[in-house]
Structure formats: structure tokens, C-alpha cells
Amino acid sequence: MRRLLSGNEAVARGAFEAGVKLAAGYPGTPSTEILETVAMEYRSIYSQWSPNEKVAFEVGIGASLGGGRALVTMKHVGLNVAADPFMTFAYTGVNVGFVVISADDPEMHSSQNEQDNRFFAKFAQIPFLEPSDSQESKDFTLKAFEISEKFDTPVMLRMTTRISHSKGIVEEGEPVTLPESGFKRDMQKYVMIPANAKKRHVVVGERLEKLRQYSEETDLNRIENNGSSVGIITGGIAYQYAKDVFPDADYFKIGFGFPLPIEKIRKFVSAHKTNLIVEELEPYYEEQLKAAGINVDGKKYFSRLGELSPYRVAQGLKEAGIIKEIVGAEIPPEELFPRPPILCPGCPHRGAFMALKKLGVAVTGDIGCYTLSVLPPLEIMDTCICMGASIGNAIGMEKVRGHKKGVVAVIGDSTFLHSGITGLLDAVYNKSNVTVIILDNRITAMTGGQQHPATGHTLMGEKTREVNFVELAKALGVESVREVDPYDYDGLLKVLKEEIARPGPSVVITNRACVLMPKRIMDRPYVVISEECNGCSACFRIGCPAIMPSKELTKHNQPKAIIDPVLCTGCSLCAQVCQPEAIVLAPEPAGVK
Amino acid sequence: MENKTTNILIVGVGGQGVLLASELLSETAMQAGYDVKKSEVHGMSQRGGVVTSHIKYAKKVYSPIIQYGQTDILISFEQAEALRAVDWLKKEGLAVVSRTRLVPPIATGKKFHYPDDPVADLKKKFRRVIDVDADAIARELGDSRLVNTLLLGVVSSSLEFDYALWETVIRNLVKAKFVDINLKAFARGRELSGNGKK
Ligand SMILES: Cc1ncc(C[n+]2csc(CCOP(=O)(O)OP(=O)(O)O)c2C)c(N)n1
């Protein structure tokens, strides 16, 4: 059957056709939909969200050694978290096929950096495959499992946002039949004490030679001959952009990206008068080709920053003298107000940031929807490095600045479970005076609403035990643990003041669920009594998208506020900050669509 | 070898449900026998940020994203967002714009200003602009989410696909209990574009 699938859906399909037994991961844009699709459409595969990528990776290793093909999914920065097992699993090799998805995010559409994980495969000396559309996403997933077993190695499938989130037509096939396999005890191969690891490191080198040979021969690295004197070396999404801009060139399309098919490329290059490398992000091909004495330029014409696009590729080709003209905008772009993402109407995170703004303390931040509090109009978050960093950052900051100045760490529920627990343990162990706010909205919201160990449900939809944050924090040794309602502004302010002043670590947990996921939460909306509104703009400053300027002005020419009754969820925070008490509960339940 | 590509760009604001329209459109093109690609970026953009969806169909499509100035049809779910997308649209391209006005908190301060009449500004730049009071019509039809199929209906009369094909795709992709009302919205859109033919 032919279906229109995203790259992520195609990987899920590929896993199904490859007979995968277990799929594990941690959500992260742009990788998340792979496991969601597996859990929804391919129920024969056991799938799970792990608390973080490292655990997911280790679960995958267990499955592979136990005799079931394993798929592990994560975004690029997730592989940093999983780097420890990743680097050493490269030594042991697999029992049956193991594929890890690294979904990179050039342009940082929803990430804190745009690291190029092609280097990670090279670092670990394992092969990686890179698809350039949905069909290849499926085909390469199957191929990756074959290669994993043939060469006894974990394999990385490197996706990027454009591949993961673009849809294309995919021809679906039947699942393969695999021979029976099980766990075979082999301590020298799987127990990486130094004596064994030394021997395995030799095997890694030998394997690399075999992979080099394979890379020269496989049709994953293919030449497209159009009889041109121009040769373009490219891979991934960059291939598609280049084909759009200059279809008549000859192409060397790289699908098997490590080790590179150096000799095949050398021959291709010598057969062309002009050659050019078109690759997104870092000069990954270029460095290796140049090191092998193949002198072809790339990054001279293309930025290492951000995503490429047909337009940017055309610019580069023009600069390199390969094409003469480029098509661009016929009408110039408009200067317009920005429209940054923003906390939703009724978001339970809003109250905490309003209170922190009032208190004027240093706020070490973390990653999730709540990171949006750094943007106007709230603008109250001082750090954001990586998941779980807020607590460690706060500890360090408090140690050098002292308790009096106040340091508060804010961290989401999913993030706390991902990598905040050890930070909190550190705060207790090393007698830190930080206050940690756990923004428990009972879901992983930023990535689209995934379950986690405190939601009570698994990825496959089963009920399970849920972590109790209060008990957990107490068990770690935190003496002061308090739950607060983030819709009660004064209450929140009071609790935070007390906890910030208190010596020793304390934990404050906000206890309202996300208003969007898993269920939409809608209460009776609020309205502005226009005659009472003095245009002070206090309600605008809480950054709620349901509150807009009305066409009506005060006598000082300030716009009055109006509230969109369809967007308002009735959280009441705006009413709590309205001095003239112009914001009140709507007179009767308005119809909610 | 002719490989004429049709490029359609859909823009809107996170939470408006832009993605259903692009889903229906790309499915229709595929059923009509074309190669199709469609690209959108999820993530941060869902929280009230700008959402864009690129749809391309041809005998063979390479890049899933359109080049500047190469869009044949722009569908905008929000007035000002149409203005933000002008550099994507061909000079002779068609813009179908909902009169929806969503002023973000950032444009309520002193620094930024939401344009008074984005549709008028757009009409100064492009000859072919159809503006639709989509929210009002959708509400009148019974559900604000019908904006999707309504705008698609407007656009459909500028595309080559038969009404019957659209209908099949809507029946297949929309939840059963919403099919009829969506077909009604689609037909209404076709009427608005001056082509009520089925
Ligand atoms: C190592 C790593 N894995 C995954 C992500 C993607 N990611 C960003 S925030 C987030 C979780 C946010 O959930 P939570 O902490 O509950 O906050 P919420 O968005 O619900 O407010 C995830 C998975 C990441 N940035 N880094």
C-alpha cells in the first residue's frame, strides 16, 4: 500500500517491517512521533517511554542481548544523555539488531543547540545511515537492522527535523520473518572489564575496516549520472534541495555516512571538472574528504549555521559559480510584529512566574513549556542549559552568592524525573539553601503530551503506579516539601517567600494539570467590565493570549482590555492582579466550543 | 520532460488547526496520482507561535519546502500572518485569507503594533486576494474548527481535482460524525469562490 507518511511514521513502519520486538525512548522534538506511531499502529511491538534517554538506551541493549531486535529513539541532545552506554555498546556489539535514532534539529526549531550528531557515530566508530525522505526513512530503517546484525554493531539512523516532520509517499511492505534467537551467555563480549574491553577495542578496529569496504560497495551510496561536468556530493535533506535547484548536475548521494566511501568519491571527483559538497551544519564530509586528499570545497559557500533550504543552496551554488541566476522573492518581506510562542491561556506555570517576577530572585531554569517564561512579557528565567540543569545551577549559584540573595530552581515534572532527582539529592547532601519549584502539570507538555512515571499511564496505555513527588523529595532528605495551587497567586507568593527565606533545601510543588493535555480543561471564563477598566495593562503583563487590547480607549488613550471567551479557561489569575477589580467571572456559563 | 510543480503554503497560528487542511490537500493530490511532499515544523510553534505548512505536488518532488517567491497559492488562517508570508508568494499567486484577527500579547505593548487592516495591505501587493469571514461562517455552520474545510473549499475551485475526489478524501480523513458538516463547509467555500459547481 502507498501512504503519505512523515519521516517519523516511516521509521515506525520500518521498525514494524524489520520485526522489531522492543522500542524505547524519551520524547524530544523532532523524534517523538516515532514511538507514538509504534504504540498506536504497531501494537505487536512492545514500546515504552523511559524516564530518560540513557535508560531507554540501556533497555534497548538488554533487548538486543536478550534476542529481540531493538529500536531506541531520541533527539540529538538525548544522545548526550545516553552517550555513556552508547560509547561502550560500540565495543560489545549486538546479539540481534540494534538501531538508535538520533533526530537532529538544525535551525533549533525546538532545541537548545544544533549539534551535528554525524560526528557522534564517527566518535563511537559505529555506522550511521541518513535518509533524505520518508521512503528512505523506512527503507534505511530495515537496512540498518541488517547492517547491525551483519557487522555485529549498533547502528545510528540520523534524522533531521525536515526529514522527521515532512511527509512523502511511502510504499509499504510485509514484515520480515526472522530466525528464532535468544540470549547467549558471552562474558568476554558483554562484560566490559578492562581485560575484555581491550580485546573488544581490537574488534572495533577490524569491524571498521569491513564497514569501510561495505561503504564502497553499497548502493546506499549512489551515483546519479546526468552527463554533467559538475559533481555534487551531498546527503540527507541537502540532496533534495540541491536536486530542486540544479537537477542537471551529477550527484554522489551519501546514504551510508560512516565510514565514508572515500575511494568511490575520489573516482567521482576526478571524473568531474567542478565538484562541490552540499551538506547541512558542520563540514562533516568535507573534513574527511580533505583529510584523504580530496580537495573539494563546501563550507566556503554554505553556512554551518541553521538549516539549508532551496534558497540557501541556490545562493551557495551561485557563489561557487555553478549556476548563474537564483529565483527569490518577488515581493519583499514585511516588517511585522513577532509572534513568539507563549504560555497557553490558563497554563498552570504562569502563576509561579508571576510570583517569581514579584520576588525578584535569581531563577535557574530548565527545559519545557515553562521555559517560555523567558520571553516577553514575563521575562523571568536566568538560565537554561539542558534538561535537569536548573537544580545544579542553583546549588552552585547559591554557594557563591550566599543564601540571602535568593536562588530558585524551576523544573517541570517530566524533566525532574528525567534528570532532576540527582540534582535534588546533591542539594540535600551538600547542604544547599536552594528552593526548587517542581511545576507538576502531570504530563510532558512541551513535546505534545507524553506519559511519564508520575502520570499513572504507560506509552501503550496501561495503568501503572505513579511517582509521588512529595514522598520522593522527603525520601531524598528534603525536610520542607509543600504543595501549592498555582492559580492562587497570593498563596503562592506567601509560600515562596517563606521557603526562600528558610535555610536548607526546600521543594515547592505546583499541583494543577496542563489545560490542554491529556484533556482540555475549561472553566467558566472571565470578562472585563469595560467601564471599570482603567487601562493599567497589569493583565497584559501576565502574557495571557486570551487577553487582548480592545478598540475602546480610556480617557488617557490607553487601550482597555477584553477577554476572548473561547480562549479563556477561567484560571482567574488576571482577575487577581486587576487593581480596579474590572475582571469578573462571566455572568453565565458561556458556550464553549 | 515536463515537471510542473504546484506549491501551496498554509500559514496560521499555533492552535488553529492548520494541519488538517494541509493533510486533506496533500492526500487529495496523492490520490490524484501525483508525487507529494509536505513539510511543517511542530514543537515550539504549537504554543501560539507561527505555524507554516508547505505542500508541493508534481510528477516528481524533491525538496519538501518551497522557494521564496514560488508559492502558487497562499492560504492564511489569520490576517496578519498572510502579510508575514508575502515573500513566499508569486506576484500572480492567489491568496485566500481568513479575516481572523489574533493579536498576541507582545503586540499590546508600545514596541509592536498589529496592522490596522492587513487584508487591505495585502490587496495593494497582490491582484488575486480572496478574503473570507471564516470564523463567522464557521460558527454559523456550527463549529469554529470548520474554518479548515471552508478555506479549502475556497481554494479547491482553483485546483484541478474533481469535487468527487475531495469528497472521498474528506470522508476518509475526517472523523465519521463530523463528515457531513465538513462537507457542508467545503461546499460553502466553493460557493464563496464563485464556483458552486460540484
Ligand atoms: C536530553 C533532552 N531530551 C529531551 C528533550 C526535549 N524536551 C524538552 S522539554 C521536555 C520535557 C518537558 O516536560 P516537563 O518537564 O514536564 O515540562 P512541561 O513542558 O510539561 O511544562 C522534553 C522532553 C531535551 N531538550 N533534552
pLDDT tens-digit series, residues B78-111: 999 999 999 999 999 999 999 999 888 888 778 8
Q: Which residues contact A40 (CB under 8 A, 6 or more apart)?
A: none
Inside any domain, residue A410? yes
Nearest C-alpha neighbor of A58 from the set A82, A28, A30 = A82
Domain boundaries, chain B: 6-102+113-192
Are residue A241 and residue A375 in the same domain, yes or no? Answer: no
Measured at the CA of A517, the angle between CA B46 and CA B143, to 5 degrees, comes to: 70
Q: Which of A241, A339, A559 sits opposite B104 (nearest CB)?
A: A339
Residue B42 has pLDDT above 70, yes or no: no
Residue B71 has pLDDT above 90, yes or no: yes
Inside any domain, residue A493? yes
Cα–Cα distance between A448 and A398 in angstroms, integer? Answer: 34
Residue A470 has pLDDT above 90, yes or no: yes
Nearest C-alpha neighbor of A100 from the set A157, A162, A52 = A157
Spacing of C-alpha B181 from chain mean position: 19
Comparing A153-167, A401-415, B45-59, B118-132, which segment has the lowest mean pLDDT?
Answer: B45-59
**Chain B contact set for A340 (CB, 8 A):** 49, 104, 106
Q: Are A169 and B36 an interchain contact pair (Cβ–Cβ within 8 Å)?
A: yes
Unique residue bearing C-alpha cell 546519479: A224
Cα–Cα distance between B67 and A325 in angstroms, integer? Answer: 14
Residue B15: pLDDT band by 50, 70, 90 thresholds? confident
A307 membership: H or E segment, kind and range: none
Q: Which amino acid is present at A151?
A: F
Dig out the grid coordinates for A382 from the structure: 536566568
Nearest chain B residue to A242 by CA distance is: B63
Q: Are A166 and B83 an interchain contact pair (Cβ–Cβ within 8 Å)?
A: no
pLDDT of residue A467: 98
Size (chain A), residues: 593
Cα–Cα distance between A374 and A364 in angstroms, integer? Answer: 11
Cα–Cα distance between A586 and A330 in angstroms, integer? Answer: 48
Q: Which of A167, A309, A341 sits opposite B45 (nearest CB)?
A: A341
Q: Which of B87, B105, B143 sits opposite A332 (nearest CB)?
A: B87
Nearest chain A residue to B26 by CA distance is: A4
Measured at the CA of B151, the angle between CA B150 and CA B154, to 5 degrees, comes to: 95
- Kindly report the pTM of this predicted structure: 0.96
Residue A589 has pLDDT above 90, yes or no: no
Cα–Cα distance between A105 and A280 in angstroms, integer? Answer: 11
Closest residue CA from atom 6 of ligand 1: A28
Residue B45: pLDDT band by 50, 70, 90 thresholds? low
Q: Are A341 and B86 an interchain contact pair (Cβ–Cβ within 8 Å)?
A: no
Residue A64 has pLDDT above 50, yes or no: yes
Question: Which ligand 1 atom sits nearest the alpha carbon of residue A440?
Answer: 16
pLDDT tens-digit series, residues A158-168: 999 999 999 99
Dig out the grid coordinates for A536 from the structure: 493599567
Q: Which residues contact A562 (CB under 8 A, 6 or more apart)?
A: A528, A530, A547, A548, A549, A550
**Ligand 1 near A369 CB (within 6 A):** yes
**Ligand 1 near A28 CB (within 6 A):** yes
Closest residue CA from atom 4 of ligand 1: A28
pLDDT of residue A341: 87
- Min distance A429 CA to chain B CA atoms (Å): 36
Inside any domain, residue A382? yes
Measured at the CA of B80, the angle between CA A567 and CA B57, to 5 degrees, comes to: 100
Cα–Cα distance between B166 and A489 in angstroms, integer? Answer: 50
- Min distance A346 CA to chain B CA atoms (Å): 12
Inside any domain, residue A516? no
Sign of the dihedral defined by the CA atoms of residues B84, B86, B89, B93, in that order: positive
Residues 81-100 of B with CB under 8 A from A: 81, 83-84, 86-91
Cα–Cα distance between A477 and A499 in angstroms, integer? Answer: 16
Could you list the residue range(s) of the whole structural domain that residue A168 is in? 2-217
Residue A275 has pLDDT above 60, yes or no: yes
Domain end (from A453, A485, A510): A510
Are residue A157 and residue A185 in the same domain, yes or no? Answer: yes
Does ipTM surpass 0.90 in this model?
A: yes
Inside any domain, residue A140? yes
Which residue blocks in A246-283 are alpha helix, DSSP H? 262-270
Inside any domain, residue A343? no
Are residue A308 and residue A213 in the same domain, yes or no? Answer: no
Backbone region of residue A504 per phi and psi (left: phi > 0; alpha: psi in -120 to 50; beta: other values): left
Instruction: Return phi, psi of residue B38, to 5°.
Output: -145, 140
Dig out the grid coordinates for A334 from the structure: 514585511
Nearest C-alpha neighbor of A237 from the set A136, A145, A329 = A136
Residue A426 has pLDDT above 90, yes or no: yes
The CATH topology of domain B6-102+113-192 is Pyruvate-ferredoxin Oxidoreductase; domain 3 (3.40.920)
pLDDT tens-digit series, residues B131-186: 999 999 999 999 888 999 999 999 999 999 999 999 999 999 999 999 999 999 99
Which residue blocks in A271-388 are alpha helix, DSSP H? 284-291, 310-319, 350-359
Query: What is the rounded average pLDDT of the residues A48-73?
Result: 98
Residue B1: pLDDT band by 50, 70, 90 thresholds? very low
Residue A459 has pLDDT above 70, yes or no: yes
**Ligand 1 near A437 CB (within 6 A):** no
Unique residue bearing C-alpha cell 560526528: A119
Residue A593 has pLDDT above 70, yes or no: no
Tally of CB atoms within 10 A around A213: 13
Are residue A314 and residue A377 in the same domain, yes or no? Answer: no
Domain end (from A293, A309, A335): A335
Are residue A140 and residue A57 in the same domain, yes or no? Answer: yes
Nearest C-alpha neighbor of A173 from the set A135, A129, A218, A130 = A135
Three-state DSSP at B34 gives: coil
Residue B77: pLDDT band by 50, 70, 90 thresholds? very high
Residue B2: pLDDT band by 50, 70, 90 thresholds? low
Q: Are A344 and B41 an interchain contact pair (Cβ–Cβ within 8 Å)?
A: no
Q: Are A333 and B87 an interchain contact pair (Cβ–Cβ within 8 Å)?
A: yes
Are residue A318 and residue A372 in the same domain, yes or no? Answer: no
Cα–Cα distance between A427 and A444 in angstroms, integer? Answer: 24
Are residue A18 and residue A150 in the same domain, yes or no? Answer: yes
CATH number of A292's domain: 3.40.50.920
Mean pLDDT over the full length of chain A = 96
Nearest chain A residue to B12 by CA distance is: A339
Buried b (16+ CB within 10 A) or exposed e, A471-480: ebbeebebeb
Counted domains in chain A? 4
Percent of chain A at pLDDT above 70? Answer: 99
Tally of CB atoms within 10 A around B62: 21
Domain end (from A510, A542, A577): A510
**Chain B contact set for A338 (CB, 8 A):** 106, 112
pLDDT of residue A561: 95
pLDDT of residue B43: 53
Instruction: Return phi, psi of residue A260, to 5°.
Output: -75, 150
Nearest chain A residue to B85 by CA distance is: A333
Residue A591 has pLDDT above 70, yes or no: no
Mean pLDDT over the full length of chain B = 92
**Ligand 1 near A279 CB (within 6 A):** no
Q: Which of A161, A167, A339 sits opposite B49 (nearest CB)?
A: A339
Backbone region of residue B48 per phi and psi (left: phi > 0; alpha: psi in -120 to 50; beta: other values): left
Q: Which residues contact A141 (CB under 8 A, 6 or more apart)?
A: A10, A11, A13, A14, A15, A17, A18, A71, A99, A157
Are residue A32 and residue A169 in the same domain, yes or no? Answer: yes
Q: Are B43 and A559 an interchain contact pair (Cβ–Cβ within 8 Å)?
A: no
Residue A337: pLDDT band by 50, 70, 90 thresholds? very high
pLDDT of residue A340: 87
Residue A156, class by beta-carbon neighbours within 10 Å (0-12 exposed, 13-18 middle, 19+ buried)? Answer: buried
Are residue A500 and residue A435 in the same domain, yes or no? Answer: yes
Pairing of strands B50-58, B6-13: antiparallel
Are residue A149 and residue A6 in the same domain, yes or no? Answer: yes
Are residue A44 and residue A193 in the same domain, yes or no? Answer: yes
pLDDT tens-digit series, residues A184-241: 999 999 999 999 999 999 999 999 999 999 999 999 999 999 999 999 999 999 999 9
Three-state DSSP at B148 gives: helix
- The DSSP bridge partners found for residue A480 are A506
- The DSSP bridge partners found for residue B13 are B50
Query: What is the rounded average pLDDT of the residues A416-436?
Result: 98
pLDDT of residue B46: 64
Are residue A355 and residue A443 in the same domain, yes or no? Answer: yes
Cα–Cα distance between A405 and A56 in angstroms, integer? Answer: 39
CATH number of A88's domain: 3.40.50.970
pLDDT of residue B62: 98
Q: What is the DSSP string of A103-127?
A: EE-TT-TT-S----THHHHHHHT--
